[in-house]
Structure 1
């Protein structure tokens, strides 16, 4: 049954089970397929008993693309399982089970039971918690019927625990840039080669928009070598804006669609990759249902404006809070472009509240906002041993050409921003970001966790 932590928070049954595993097994990443394969064999190979799988990898954009895939399929009346990581507030966010009328996050008792069964099957052997939770995902998805499963890679691709799926319906690889260099390599082409590891011989491959030509070349070469049907953004399909609408075009058709609900011009390319992936996987799509999917898609913590909750209610009228979990230079450029687009409509002063962990490139991230952000307030990432010291992070922002200083927490930073209006006639626009862990904390204290 649920219990209460020392801080007064209710700890669910599933969280208790997972916390016990975290205390028992090594933390961090240990990329290998041997342990997960052994465990799945003991569980009866549930990964071989799934509905059609779309396997999604990439440095940036894979979550949004999965979200569009899910929304479009559900708009067609289909049921869809979705696996994503990491979570923002609760472990349950990683497991969305398909259901009539729309998928739902797994119920606590169901998740706790699955975790217990998988842990028992592991028999105490050395394994990472991510591998156990990946096995939990396969168990849940195999035991609950659905029309499709969207499975997002955790880290890399080649040795990611999700990469035991023998024959997905399609593999999708979104934008690749530098991230997790300690595990994936310090050059974009090396990271692309790791991501390309999800490509299986003869399985359709969709390559999303790539800012790095060398990454696209590596992905194309791998797909061609493995004789895969291949669709590349900008070559075989594309999306563009026309008269306030999104136009999708591939070699078969041109579709006039509403703009995606998710904010940012980059979401057109993500939506296009989702459409092409669903078609490549064999789903028959109808134009009206695609449009309904694009306008209903929701992906918490990704260029999301907070419109209610405790943090919002404590701000002066008119102040905007936006949150985004992007944390690498590629994501920084996309987020900065989205903020600039908002500024084209209404020129508000932009402030950043940023926290990051020590595996990221803070200078590269902040450089995207040079000349745009009035000031950066750097904050700790709560309950995260890998969080960067706010003083170090402020120095990194300064090296990127931004005025910056540390703050003890998000709420103090917000209060300071609201006091320093710099003579602007419009209330400020505040972007909180740099870490998904920080966003989880923000959503928790705001009282608006993902559902």
Structure 2
């Protein structure tokens, strides 16, 4: 009997979790040193050698924040270019990204669309069966192997590959000769694995640099203490050229529209445009970078979509402002974006007043959840016209045990958290206590599911003309659950 997509997701969720790996590495960082040799061995087991990856003409992207958005811009530009080619063209673009929001197949895309359930199951079990009764790779490594196998099988000609965590020891870093690499904005994250300083983190991210490929990074990274020296040092040691990217004039002056909201996306879009130009210069130099091509690039930037990043959804008298920010800088950027959305909403003629809500979670304790909540409060307080009325804290559990849906989507099972802490709502109670200290007048509640949290907002009665505006942030897994509640 054929094995289904549901069978594939169920099997995937049995693999050793990211949480277990992070804990093991925190106790013994030297385990990292085996990461790439182990991935090469796994790749051989699947039936390939690393040289096969060069057939994919890879664009490899690392960074603390913005790497997913940059990958989305690059993918959108290439797909816009693909649509300009004759219908008979077999030009295929692959995108591998993480984490997923609603469906795990979102991580592996071809020509701008997630794999179908049928193709996901096909390539999943082709990879799975290669290991037989042997121990399978852990969750993220397995998906990386599967993505590469999928792209080669589908004869993808361009693969945009986003690092999962770090760079040097990231499972994607078995690509021997990418066409171009990029390191997006740097910040403090995953300190247990990458270090507690920008220079330490920069060294990990710079591990994707290869002699075969120029590397591009935003000029803003020069302002991060120690980052510039480390990136330049690594570039010189591997024999590649490092280019600092400034914001493109058309973006800075708003002549090119951004498909992703937030002024900070101008930096990511500029890096994406530079990446694309370099890729064509190396792989298709006969394609002129003329006015027609620049229009394709601009259209690709304008048509880019990346759910869960500065994403606004409307539901009756509720505006959901959703952003997966989960580091200090990305939380602050999310706060500034939310304040700009509030400012816009208050100018609408149909709106007499707003009532502001926060839905927040940060399940990874190493990120100092309470510190991120304080940073968000400090960012929002001087920018909002009034205080947040209700702050709601929830784990990443999507559905209530008593839900009429009566299911937990297997795609939404988080493999990056401590199950015991989730069950006891440890982080959520800490966050609630922190917010009460910050704002004693706010209504603060801890809920046990995202569905129940959304119910609080939906059931809150307000006068006619009052718009309920909700900021959802702190975790991409939280964002995925909210989108499932809104769209599922």
Tell me if both proteins adopt one fold, taking TM over 0.5 as the criterion: yes
Alignment of 1:240-279 (within 5 A): 240-242=251-253, 245-246=254-255, 257=256, 259-279=257-277
Contact 2:60 2:208 in 1 (8 A): yes
Q: Secondary structure at the match of 1:389?
A: helix
Structure 2 Cα separation of the partners of residues 417 and 114 of structure 1: 41
Match of 1:164 among 174, 177, 181: 174
State the partner residue of 1:104: 113
Match of 1:85 among 98, 114, 124: 98
When residues 239 and 206 of structure 1 are mapped into structure 2, their CA distance, relative to the original with a 3 A threshold, is farther
Give the unaligned 5+ runs of structure 2. Answer: 26-31, 83-90, 282-286, 347-353, 398-412
State the partner residue of 1:429: 469
Match of 1:125 among 132, 135, 153: 135
Shift in Å at residue 266 of structure 1?
0.7
When residues 356 and 444 of structure 1 are mapped into structure 2, their CA distance, relative to the original with a 3 A threshold, is same
Contact 2:136 2:142 in 1 (8 A): no
Shift in Å at residue 131 of structure 1?
1.3
The alignment status of 1:61 with 2:66, answered yes or no, reads yes
Contact 1:193 1:218 in 2 (8 A): yes
Shift in Å at residue 20 of structure 1?
4.2
The alignment status of 1:212 with 2:224, answered yes or no, reads yes
Q: How many residues align?
A: 415
When residues 119 and 35 of structure 1 are mapped into structure 2, their CA distance, relative to the original with a 3 A threshold, is farther
Match of 1:34 among 23, 37, 43: 37
When residues 442 and 229 of structure 1 are mapped into structure 2, their CA distance, relative to the original with a 3 A threshold, is same
Alignment of 1:5-44 (within 5 A): 12-22=6-16, 27-29=20-22, 31=32, 32-42=35-45, 43-44=47-48
Give the unaligned 5+ runs of structure 1. Answer: 4-9, 247-256
Q: Secondary structure at the match of 2:377?
A: coil
Alignment of 1:135-146 (within 5 A): 135-146=145-156
State the partner residue of 2:213: 203
Shift in Å at residue 444 of structure 1?
2.0
Shift in Å at residue 346 of structure 1?
3.5
Shift in Å at residue 59 of structure 1?
1.0
Q: Secondary structure at the match of 1:33?
A: helix
Q: Secondary structure at the match of 1:172?
A: strand
Contact 1:353 1:413 in 2 (8 A): yes
Shift in Å at residue 120 of structure 1?
3.1
Structure 1 Cα separation of the partners of residues 127 and 480 of structure 2: 26
State the partner residue of 2:88: none
Contact 2:199 2:225 in 1 (8 A): no
> Structure 1 stretch 401-410 or stretch 428-437: which is displaced more?
401-410
Structure 1 Cα separation of the partners of residues 248 and 119 of structure 2: 40
Structure 2 Cα separation of the partners of residues 193 and 412 of structure 1: 42
Structure 2 Cα separation of the partners of residues 349 and 188 of structure 1: 38
Structure 1 Cα separation of the partners of residues 195 and 474 of structure 2: 21
The alignment status of 1:50 with 2:55, answered yes or no, reads yes
Match of 1:406 among 445, 454, 465: 445
Match of 1:226 among 235, 238, 249: 238
Structure 2 Cα separation of the partners of residues 436 and 289 of structure 1: 30
Match of 1:291 among 279, 287, 298: 298
Q: Secondary structure at the match of 1:151?
A: strand
> Structure 1 stretch 398-407 or stretch 291-300: which is displaced more?
398-407
Contact 2:59 2:159 in 1 (8 A): yes
State the partner residue of 2:405: none
**Superposition TM-score, scaled by structure 2 size:** 0.77
State the partner residue of 1:184: 194
Shift in Å at residue 365 of structure 1?
2.3
The alignment status of 1:282 with 2:288, answered yes or no, reads no
The alignment status of 1:324 with 2:288, answered yes or no, reads no
Contact 1:239 1:269 in 2 (8 A): no
When residues 404 and 34 of structure 1 are mapped into structure 2, their CA distance, relative to the original with a 3 A threshold, is farther
Q: Secondary structure at the match of 2:367?
A: coil
Shift in Å at residue 327 of structure 1?
1.0
Contact 1:238 1:269 in 2 (8 A): no
Structure 1 Cα separation of the partners of residues 249 and 224 of structure 2: 17
> Structure 1 stretch 214-223 or stretch 152-161: which is displaced more?
214-223
**Superposition TM-score, scaled by structure 1 size:** 0.83
State the partner residue of 1:75: 80
Structure 1 Cα separation of the partners of residues 462 and 452 of structure 2: 18
Structure 2 Cα separation of the partners of residues 200 and 75 of structure 1: 28
When residues 238 and 34 of structure 1 are mapped into structure 2, their CA distance, relative to the original with a 3 A threshold, is farther
Alignment of 1:381-396 (within 5 A): 381-382=396-397, 384=414, 385-386=417-418, 387=422, 388-396=426-434
When residues 238 and 170 of structure 1 are mapped into structure 2, their CA distance, relative to the original with a 3 A threshold, is farther
Structure 1 Cα separation of the partners of residues 437 and 2 of structure 2: 47
Q: Secondary structure at the match of 1:150?
A: strand
Give the RMSD, CA atoms, in angstroms. Answer: 2.9
